[in-house]
Structure 1
Amino acid sequence: MGAEHIRRWESGALAHAVSDPFGQGPLPWLRGSENYFDDTGQVVPWYADPALARGSTDGGTRTADDVHRQIKGFISTGAAAPGEAIDFHITVDPPQQFSVDIYRIGHYGGDGAAQITTSPRLSGIVQPAPLTADRTVSCHHWWQSWRLQIPSYWSIGAYVAVLTTMDGYRSHIPFTVRDDQPADLLLVLPDITWQAYNLYPEDGRTGASLYHAWDEQGCLLGEEDAAVTVSFDRPYAGAGLPLHVGHAYDFIRWAERYGYDIAYADTRDLHAGRVDLARYRGLVFPGHDEYWSVPMRRTVERARDGGTSLVFLSANTMYWQVGLAPSPSGVPDRLLTCRKRRGPGKPALWREIDRPEQQLLGIQYAGRVPDPHPLVVRNAEHWLWEATGAGEGDELDGLVAGEADRYFPRTALPEHESRILLAHSPYLDSEGVKRHQETSVYRAPSGAIVFASGTFAWSPALDRPGHVDPRIQRATANLLDRICKRD
């Protein structure tokens, strides 16, 4: 296999970089350049924590990859509550001792995360090769490596487990700690969409996502040859973190800095009905959240109709309809299926089954934005733009990026008491055709506010080094304060 193939896929997120200019973004406890890949395609992190930065004996930090599988792992559950346990399934090659450092994402004085605990030294083994069937890759047969009992005093939130071998290789596993206590806002982490993009293992042979698979020469194939079903029972590709995870972490760091009262859940919690949405004034969807099941949508629409506000801080939300099924061992919601446009049966796009996403969001997906463009402010007298300093027609540089939504005039709108578009931003698509992005807010008959940013760049503007925009920070605060009744 040629070196060009290794550089092409060993890095983790390069296959999808076209759809997200922010990629994984700075891992929350990393500080440094936006460029995390060296010329061999290896991820090069710079850890804020000096102990992590020292890493291996030669002073460098080395990220495990999917070819050599120095250390990779996944957990056997989704979100868990204090008092519950999380089982880790980890492979280590060559076999050696390893440890697990647990971090919680937050502001923490600008560090971006805080170390909560460290495992004892654990014995690592080489787990069996992943099982594959019809492009579906699963590691559900891996032995349990460690059980984390979550103490009752742990804070709810987004967590990352950092796995480190004795010889300094490192990988990551994200997880969520939730509880049933009421809060002003419920943050929903898009774990279903994260898994849809997961190409593990990126070994040029085995891995498959809902977007890609490999041919016999190790070249990347497109959607028509990709998986129809993917499993949660496997690590994330590359560094072990989902492709779009940085968008959620950007929002979390900013929101915790300013003291918002936040509860946490995963999209699979919405799907399974584990969350009582009436306990919250608003739901926040902070990152790219493209794949929705029927129960997810039904639950969120019911919440809106009951007066719970909705905040969508990305674009291309709720585009594909998906189904969830149990793992071979019977654990619920471990297999994710989306037929897309393949084979017989009903189409998988919400808008093609007469349920366009605009009927919930107020706008819907328009297309990719190959190069960042300014977000052009419209209706600057609206309360969202109050005290931001943004005037009518002002251009917020780089704020339309990745993917964009807009209002579709021929598509039905949701029922609303009032509705307004707060940006109208021209951009050129990949064919050089002029298109536009829009940002929307409407008030449902229940009184719920529904906001959709219509761009990938909104959350990074809250707390991403090099992307922070104080006007977007203030506009987001105006929105959340109104939902939380702080105004």
Structure 2
Amino acid sequence: MGDAPTQQVPGLGDVVGYLDSPTAVCGQRLSVHLSSTVGPTRVRLRALRIGDYQGRGSRLVWQSGAVTARQQHEVEPAGPDRVITERWPVATTIAVDVSWPPGMYLIEIAPLAGGQPSFIPLVVRTSGAHSPYLVVASDLTWLAYNRYGGRSLYFGPGSNHTQSVANRSYVASTDRPVDASGQRTVFKMTLPLVRFLARHGISYDITTDSSLDATPAQLVGQTTVLIDGHSEYWTKRMYDAAVQARDGGTNFAFLGANEIYWQGRIERDARERPTALTVYRQAGLDRLARADPATTTVQWRHAPLLRDPAALVGVGMSVVGVHGAYVVNTAPAWLLAGTNLHKGSVLDLAFGNEVDAQEPPGPHSPANLQVILHGTAMAAGRTKPSLVTAAYYNAPSGAGVFAAGTTYWLCELDSTCPGGPTPRATSGALEQITLNLLRAFAVPRAGRLHPSAATPYESPAWLAKRLPVGGAATGEGQ
């Protein structure tokens, strides 16, 4: 059996590493690059497949012999984009063979003499479609938040927040270890989905953002696509493929929030290996914006893109850094069966930290959007409440689309959210709702069997008079 952490983000030990690819398929050989901060250190690598496994959380699939990790040179940020690309030599290789079932893995780097291990996330992709459900692991979001070497796409060095943001990288390299900032999106937003599916014996296929960008046809003919808890960075090829799939009858379950917020560009080498994610956030900084406006790395809802994600997801980004209660607004029997919930039922601490909301009527929000759960919250520094929404709609193709509206949806299924333990009544209800959703989404065009009923838009100020008002999140970010 394995012993991957399930409750805490582990951070990095004295020996760290990265792979030459975030994904693999059967028959692929991966290069492992290691560095030790304490001089030559003998380590063992172990491949842990994430699942339930009688509550253990992972299973040992493979382990290496002793490998020596040596201290490597740490690069300085390069060029105007402040790129941190480590160029460590190959310490060993891993052959992914038939003994590795497709799924989500952690490659553990464990010093033989003891001490804290480090972990490298890896997705072993499914070849072809074998299940009604395709999980898309958000490796671009892991990459964006990774601050190894002192910079992420959010922050760099600085004596205050403003300086730190100004010194961020514009390009995030894949050739470096994933630190605690990047790991948080893995451990809190992706692994809980995989554990949930395993806990209920639900088979699934799996891919990643970067793999989907390389081969958008992976979505063709899929029954249901499951998006994990924090899928913030999408490329144009991903977005186009998702819209085409929905319009072809593929169901989507967005089991998080702040999806499809920024457009990113994936840089690739001569072997088509993803090497970096580029996000400038401002069109004026993006050197390719004039030549190819459609790939400008800004928010999807902003010019020159003007593609509000609510047109696909159903809801749009609302606010960051809140925690509060969802209240049942409508109670479709197919979705709430077995929960004992009814209109007005309160699910304490059901939403956090980044949340989405129904948008006012307009050209982007689906006209038939049905609000299942809603709430309000007052974020730190705000003077007006923000709206939070979990919603569902059926597309003209018959596809069903569900949006959880909170990045905490998945981690609350096993009470591992940064904000603290989830009340049992809340986690139990969310678990049953998710099970009901997947049962309904086991067939394509689920919206034909379960059409949505339009819910009129209500402003957060009005709802705050009738619903509990959540407050600022007190746990870790993301």
The residue matched to 2:136 in structure 1 has which SS?
strand
Name the CA distance, whole Å, in 2 between partners of 1:392 and 1:419: 17
Partner of 2:166 in structure 1? 224
In structure 2, runs of 5+ residues without a counterpart are 290-295, 450-478
Partner of 1:22 in structure 2? none
C-alpha distance 274-155 of structure 1, shift in aligned 2 (>3 A): farther
Q: What is the deviation of 1:142?
A: 1.2
Q: Is the 8 Å Cα contact of residues 146 and 183 (structure 2) preserved in structure 1?
A: no
Q: Which amino acid aligns with 1:470?
A: G
The aligned runs of 1:80-479 (5 Å cut-off) are 80-93=24-37, 94-133=39-78, 134=80, 135-139=82-86, 141-169=87-115, 170-182=117-129, 183-201=131-149, 207-215=150-158, 221-238=163-180, 241-273=183-215, 276-327=218-269, 331-341=272-282, 343-344=284-285, 345=289, 348-352=298-302, 353-370=305-322, 372-413=323-364, 418-430=368-380, 431-465=382-416, 466-467=421-422, 469-479=427-437
Q: Which amino acid aligns with 2:174?
A: F
Q: What is the deviation of 1:286?
A: 1.6
Q: Does 1:76 align with 2:20?
A: yes
Superposed CA deviations along residues 228-261 of structure 1, whole A, max 9, x for unmatched, are 1110111011498354432211111111121212
User: What is the TM-score normalised by the length of structure 2?
Assistant: 0.82
Name the CA distance, whole Å, in 2 between partners of 1:218 and 1:145: 38
Q: What is the deviation of 1:157?
A: 0.3
Q: Is the 8 Å Cα contact of residues 72 and 235 (structure 1) preserved in structure 2?
A: yes
Name the CA distance, whole Å, in 2 between partners of 1:342 and 1:199: 23
In structure 1, runs of 5+ residues without a counterpart are 1-26, 37-42, 46-62, 202-206
Name the CA distance, whole Å, in 2 between partners of 1:146 and 1:240: 24
C-alpha distance 166-240 of structure 1, shift in aligned 2 (>3 A): farther
Partner of 1:19 in structure 2? none
Q: What is the deviation of 1:275?
A: 5.1
Q: What is the deviation of 1:97?
A: 1.3
Q: Which amino acid aligns with 2:204?
A: I
Name the CA distance, whole Å, in 1 between partners of 2:297 and 2:92: 41
Superposed CA deviations along residues 176-197 of structure 1, whole A, max 9, x for unmatched, are 1112232210111000011101
Name the CA distance, whole Å, in 1 between partners of 2:52 and 2:190: 13
Name the CA distance, whole Å, in 2 between partners of 1:73 and 1:307: 41
The residue matched to 1:256 in structure 2 has which SS?
helix
Name the CA distance, whole Å, in 2 between partners of 1:220 and 1:243: 23
Partner of 1:482 in structure 2? 440
Superposed CA deviations along residues 67-93 of structure 1, whole A, max 9, x for unmatched, are xxx211011012111111111111123
CA RMSD for the aligned pairs?
A: 2.4
Q: Is the 8 Å Cα contact of residues 173 and 240 (structure 1) preserved in structure 2?
A: no
Superposed CA deviations along residues 335-390 of structure 1, whole A, max 9, x for unmatched, are 111111363445601111210111111110011143x2101111124421222111
Q: Is the 8 Å Cα contact of residues 156 and 166 (structure 2) preserved in structure 1?
A: no
Name the CA distance, whole Å, in 2 between partners of 1:415 and 1:401: 24
The residue matched to 2:90 in structure 1 has which SS?
coil
Partner of 2:474 in structure 1? none
Q: Is the 8 Å Cα contact of residues 23 and 122 (structure 2) preserved in structure 1?
A: yes
C-alpha distance 408-311 of structure 1, shift in aligned 2 (>3 A): same
Name the CA distance, whole Å, in 2 between partners of 1:315 and 1:219: 24
The residue matched to 2:183 in structure 1 has which SS?
coil
C-alpha distance 219-317 of structure 1, shift in aligned 2 (>3 A): closer
Partner of 1:53 in structure 2? none
Q: Which amino acid aligns with 1:278?
A: V
Partner of 1:5 in structure 2? none
The residue matched to 1:301 in structure 2 has which SS?
helix
The residue matched to 2:340 in structure 1 has which SS?
coil
C-alpha distance 414-448 of structure 1, shift in aligned 2 (>3 A): farther
Name the CA distance, whole Å, in 2 between partners of 1:191 and 1:230: 12
Q: Which amino acid aligns with 2:242?
A: V
Q: Which amino acid aligns with 2:411?
A: P
Relative to structure 2, which stretch is displaced further, 187-196 or 81-90?
81-90
Q: Which amino acid aligns with 1:116?
A: V
Name the CA distance, whole Å, in 2 between partners of 1:145 and 1:461: 38
Q: Is the 8 Å Cα contact of residues 61 and 99 (structure 2) preserved in structure 1?
A: no
The residue matched to 1:299 in structure 2 has which SS?
helix
C-alpha distance 99-105 of structure 1, shift in aligned 2 (>3 A): same
Q: Does 1:29 align with 2:4?
A: yes
Partner of 1:60 in structure 2? none
Q: Size of the alignment, in residue pairs?
A: 420
Q: Which amino acid aligns with 1:73?
A: G
Name the CA distance, whole Å, in 2 between partners of 1:144 and 1:162: 16
Partner of 1:20 in structure 2? none
The residue matched to 1:137 in structure 2 has which SS?
coil
C-alpha distance 92-479 of structure 1, shift in aligned 2 (>3 A): same
Q: Which amino acid aligns with 2:255?
A: L
Name the CA distance, whole Å, in 2 between partners of 1:301 and 1:71: 42
Q: What is the deviation of 1:309?
A: 0.6
C-alpha distance 28-223 of structure 1, shift in aligned 2 (>3 A): farther
Q: What is the deviation of 1:470?
A: 1.1
C-alpha distance 142-29 of structure 1, shift in aligned 2 (>3 A): closer
Name the CA distance, whole Å, in 1 between partners of 2:345 and 2:160: 47
Name the CA distance, whole Å, in 1 between partners of 2:67 and 2:206: 29
Name the CA distance, whole Å, in 1 between partners of 2:143 and 2:12: 19
C-alpha distance 384-222 of structure 1, shift in aligned 2 (>3 A): farther
Q: Which amino acid aligns with 1:90?
A: L
Superposed CA deviations along residues 443-466 of structure 1, whole A, max 9, x for unmatched, are 111111111011112111222353
Name the CA distance, whole Å, in 2 between partners of 1:240 and 1:354: 28
